[in-house]
A and B are shown apart, each in its own frame.
Chain A
Amino acid sequence: MVIGEETLWKRMSDPLTSRLIVTPLLSREQIRGGSVDVRLGTEFILMKRSARGPIDPMAMEEPLQDYQERVQVEVGDKMILHPNQLVLGVTLEFLQVPPDLLAYVIGRSSWGRLGLIVATAVMVSPGYRGSLTLELANLGDTPVYLYPGTRVAQLVFHTLDDSTAAYSQRGGKYTGPVGPEFSKLALDRDWQAIRLLSQKS
């Protein structure tokens, strides 16, 4: 069931462990109808063309500075996103999803019509704490400016029909960040098996 506006506000006053947190909330209008608008934050990770070789998710202990560069763009400034360029952004808001809810991230179609695709990771797990890393890609043919502080996506909250262990208690890899985070694919347990199988073959 989708959570409505009144319940969203109520959940923001719950005790800390079950509270819905969305902060800073620059405008009350960000919570309207059944969704919460989130804004583009000020920190970005730019993907670089590396001279060292391709990214190997099985061996991501390689220095990530070869592939990424962190930049800060203040609210009021802008950053250009070129065609086919991918950058990692972050929501301006820090979130806590209560353990009995989950959220879906939906990119705003107004941006999509300019070629900007937001957030390929669409589900935010119950109990997640932190800002959300946004994958931003320009699929159009024309460069687009990104303005921190603009509303880039919506969160729609749903209830769960049974209690679920919170994300952090299940060993989630992304709990608590306030800036964008590079992929932590290398932490997946599956790699152990895949690595062993690749040695046998």
Chain B
Amino acid sequence: MTAWQDLAWNAWRDERAGHLSASLRKMYGQLAPDMVDVWLKRMDSGSRPTGASAIKRWLSQLSGGLVVFLGDLQWDIAETAAGVVIAYPEPLGGDPLAMCGAILLWVGNDVGRMGMAVNLIGAALVPALFSAKWEGPLNGALWESWIRGYHNHLTLLRRDAMASWFESRSVVNAKWQWPTLPDFMEYTEQLRYGVVPHDRDGQSPRDPVAVLLALHQFEGEERLKIAGLAHKAIEGRLLADLWQQADDQGGNRQW
């Protein structure tokens, strides 16, 4: 006979899972049994980050599947055949650069994945790691060398020094081709002035990574205040690209 406590537990699971969206329910059904309850509680809270939809899109592109973010107090990741589900520290949700920590979480110690991530947002990866003040389980030799290199490079915020640091990284038989560091000074000025980074024709910045690097130039309360401006610029770029694609398909080119 099943214990009444187990019955209560199962009833609680059924009720909670019944509220989940179809995609979440599918992921939930594929989680490892010992992780089900932890993730169900997170899924049930239904919270979502405000600054991470761009990162979610990048991660979908990298992983080739569905990605769901769930607010929590710490980083965590579960990969299922139905997609990737990521728990993030909710206080960081409004900061798009900090939320790039999710990409590092997905990379783990996988050199192949690291190469893919470098190709996509390379120049912002290391700032992201420290923006998120991430102290997760990525403590292998690969990451230690990264972190040591980062700390040793005290002039990192100077653009030239930052570029040369990126170019010189070579870790564990993998030498990645870091993308050229984009120009982010104009966007830094715009953030300091208090407006959403933009180009002069009103379009969103062509390269979201430049906005992330501009955001990285700010610390403390200033950083908290302007993270939303950076987020708005990145979202604007993604939306503009999607809009253009849809527009082209409709045969009505506007730019």
A residues near B (Cβ < 8 Å) are: 12-13, 16-17, 21-29, 72, 74-75, 92, 94, 96, 129, 131, 149, 175-176, 178-179
Q: How large is the interface on B (under 10, 10 to 19, 20 to 34, 35 or more residues)?
A: 20 to 34
Beyond A24-B203, A24-B237, A131-B232, 16 additional contacts (C-beta under 8 Å) are: A21-B196, A21-B198, A21-B202, A24-B202, A24-B233, A25-B201, A27-B243, A27-B247, A28-B254, A75-B239, A94-B198, A129-B194, A176-B225, A178-B196, A178-B229, A178-B231
Check if B195 is an interface residue, CB within 8 A of chain A: yes
Cβ of B151 < 8 Å from any Cβ of A?
A: no
Contacts of A21 in B (CB 8 A): 195-196, 198, 202
Chain B residue contacts of A96, Cβ below 8 A: 195
Contact B48 A26 (CB under 8 A): no
B224 on the interface (CB 8 Å rule)?
no
User: Distance (Å) between the CB of B92 and the closest chain A CB?
Assistant: 17
| B240 interfacial by beta-carbon distance below 8 Å | yes
**A72 to B69 CA separation, bound complex (whole angstroms):** 14
**Closest chain B residue, CB of each to CB of A26:** B243
Contact partners of B225 in chain A: CB under 8 A: 176
Output the residue of B189, B237, B239 with the most chain A CB within 10 A. B239
- Interface residue ranges of B177-229 to A (CB < 8 Å): 189-190, 193-196, 198, 200-204, 225, 228-229
B228 touches A24 (CB 8 A): no
Given A27-B255, A94-B232: A16 touches B239 (CB 8 Å cut-off)? no
- Which residue numbers of B lie inside 8 Å of A, CB to CB? 48, 50, 53, 189-190, 193-196, 198, 200-204, 225, 228-229, 231-233, 236-237, 239-240, 242-243, 247, 254-255
B110 CB to closest chain A CB (Å) equals: 30
Contact between A178 and B232, CB atoms less than 8 A apart = yes
- Please tell me which one of the listed residues A13, A17, A28 contacts residue B255 in the complex, with CB atoms under 8 A apart: A28
A12, A24, A94, A131: most-surrounded residue (chain B CB, <10 A): A24
Label chain B's interface by main secondary structure. Answer: helix
CB distance from B218 to the nearest CB of A (A): 15
B50 to chain A, nearest CB (A): 8
* CB closest chain-A residue, reference B247: A27
In whole angstroms, how far apart are the Cα atoms of A75 and B241 in the complex? 13
A29–B236 CA distance with the chains assembled, in angstroms? 17
Q: Tell me the bound Cα distance from A103 to B236 in angstroms.
A: 23
- The CA-CA distance from A16 to B229 in the complex, in Å, is 15
A24 contacts which of B50, B189, B204, B229 (Cβ < 8 Å)? B204
Q: Contact between B200 and A94 (Cβ–Cβ < 8 Å)?
A: no
Contacts of B204 in A (CB 8 A): 23-24
Q: With A and B bound together, what is the CA distance between A27 and B239 in angstroms? A: 12
Q: What is the distance, in angstroms, from B34's C-beta to the closest C-beta of chain A?
A: 32
Q: Is the CB of A12 within 8 A of B201?
A: yes
B236, A23: Cβ atoms closer than 8 Å:
yes
**Are B195 and A24 within 8 A (Cβ)?**
no
How far does the alpha carbon of A16 sit from the alpha carbon of B233 in the complex, in Å? Answer: 16
Chain B residues with Cβ under 8 A from A129's Cβ? Answer: 194-195
Chain A residues within 8 Å of B237, by CB: 24
* A and B contact pairs by CB, cutoff 8 A, 30 listed: A13-B200, A16-B190, A16-B193, A21-B198, A21-B202, A22-B202, A23-B202, A23-B233, A24-B198, A24-B202, A24-B204, A24-B233, A24-B236, A24-B237, A25-B201, A25-B202, A26-B239, A26-B254, A27-B254, A75-B242, A94-B198, A94-B229, A129-B194, A129-B195, A149-B243, A176-B225, A178-B196, A178-B229, A178-B232, A179-B228
